Amino acid sequence: MKDKIKNVVIAGGGTAGWMAAAAFAKLIGKNLNITLVESDEISTVGVGEATIPPIKTFHKLLGINEQEIMRATNATFKLGIEFENWGLQNSKYIHSFGATGKECWAGEFHHFWLHGLRKGIKADFGDYCYELQAAKANKFALLNNTPINYAYHLDATLYAKYLRKFSENLGVTRLEGKIQQVNKDSKTGNISSLTLASGQVVEGDFFIDCTGFRGLLIEQALHTGFDHWSHWLPCDSAVAVQTKTVSAPKPYTRAIAHNSGWQWQIPLQNRVGNGLVFCSKYCSDEEAIATLKQNIEGEMITEPRVIKFNTGRRRKGWNKNCVALGLSSGFIEPLESTSIHLIMSGVIRLLRLFPFEGICQSTIDEYNSKLDSELNAVRDFIVLHYKTTEREDTDFWLHCKTMEIPPSLQHKIKLFKETGRVFLDDGDIFRVDSWTQVLIGQGIIPEQYHTIAEVMNDKELEHFMHSMKNSIANAVEKLPSHAEFLDKYCKA
């Protein structure tokens, strides 16, 4: 007979630990005892400051008030990411969270846009996206008559602090202390308890590993194994620094390509988060720090901190009676702000499959299969940005342009280039709009498009395209600035 699961132990705090604790306590906590073990002495990475739109759904599920959490985390709104110097030097495009144009049953809007180009309607693809135009104009508002798709820039340390208070109010027990040893059952190999440095033993039926890159439970105790993705994602280091605000916060993240990697710029209400992601084969830590310092605005609040990482993932997200979340489960790349999202989707998947009556192999297999699909899709989307560069001006970019890529991505790029079609995989968290904005932004213009775009005559097509572009421009014109809206809505 299987043992029922009653005691859940979360090893590690930070964003991953407290997101798991908050969701478990709020949604299924009545049936469980939840304990989170963390040490004040162990610092979290804490630079994950950008999110993608599904985080709003997570907060709704938990009944968290948007204005309250935005105030508590010095948050700003995020409509997308601006990519600079990625396709070519001095090129620029925005991958926004909005839908572009209008689609029909046979094909997405980009087929109509491509047909329009052929007919001499020379407008940017992004002109037909409300969120993208609002981002460019530094404007934002929440209006009943005009829905807008957005995420947040937030202080990850304050976010974990907020969720800690939220979780403790719901009965989660927090234990302070370093984990000295992970103890396993000699018969099953399952984790049975954690011994803390104080000598205290924390027993549990189910364990969630949020111990960061170290993977104390999933790797050091259960030897799950790690698949490296550095042959597709060459960056293995980052240097991060916070600076004082010198201008109104933009409602988007900036991702600026440099010689051996790229720089992020994330505006919060009270400061700016900056970092340089780079490949140590082409750039030393000292060079990276110097490059970042030369390219930041405003006085530094913190000293530059170098973070080393391996791109890749654990072979299993769920092994025996342990699930890894956050950095302990692997790390893809900060480029499209997927880290917090992957924690959230892991938590939701685990809640849906939670083995109250005891663990079955079929449950573990289902969790891992869905995780595989999701991670592979995210990986492909991020590799896409590197691979489709036209840059050959440095060894790093030449490597990215000529490197081998996963067959699944090779097929997606080829299909789009030759036919203009994009089909999503089961695990894709990015919609067709995201793929087309990045592919076109990186300079890939399809050789053909769906003939459904030719159903309108030239006059109808022109009217259709112009009226859509103009209505977006008029709607954006009426919006307040992002800074004005923040002041009214959620000033910290």
Single pTM value for the model:
0.95
In the chain, what are the domain boundaries? 7-49+155-229+311-359, 98-151+378-477, 237-308
Contact 191, 90 (CB under 8 A): no
Q: What is the pLDDT, as a whole number, of residue 199?
A: 97
Q: 3-state DSSP call for residue 384?
A: helix
Tell me how far apart the alpha carbons of residues 267 and 53 are, in angstroms, rounded to a whole number: 17
Q: What is the pLDDT of residue 47?
A: 67
Rounded CA-CA distance 47/70 in Å is 17
pLDDT of residue 1: 46
Check: CB of residue 7 under 8 Å from CB of residue 204. Answer: yes
Q: Using alpha carbons, select from 338, 345, 306 the residue that is nearest to residue 434.
A: 338
Task: From 48, 81, 47, select the one nearest 240 (Cα to Cα).
Answer: 47
| pLDDT averaged per 10 residues, the chain (length 492) | 88 96 96 94 71 95 97 97 96 95 80 95 96 98 93 95 97 97 96 97 98 96 97 96 96 97 96 96 97 96 94 97 96 92 96 96 97 96 97 97 97 97 91 96 95 91 95 97 98 93
CB atoms closer than 10 angstroms to residue 158: 18
Tell whether the torsion through CA atoms of 216, 217, 222 and 228 is positive or negative: negative
pLDDT of residue 40: 86
Predicted pLDDT of residue 445: 95
- Choose, from 26, 78, 136, 316, the residue flagged as catalytic: 78
Distance between CA 99 and CA 353 in Å, rounded? 32
Q: Is residue 78 annotated as a catalytic residue, yes or no?
A: yes
Pseudo-torsion of CA 57, 61, 62, 66, nearest 10°?
A: 40
CATH class of 7-49+155-229+311-359: alpha beta
Mention every residue, 6+ apart, whose C-beta is less than 8 A from residue 460. Answer: none
Amino acid at 134: A
At 46 the pLDDT is 58
**Residue 425: closest CA among 377, 371, 367, 372:** 377
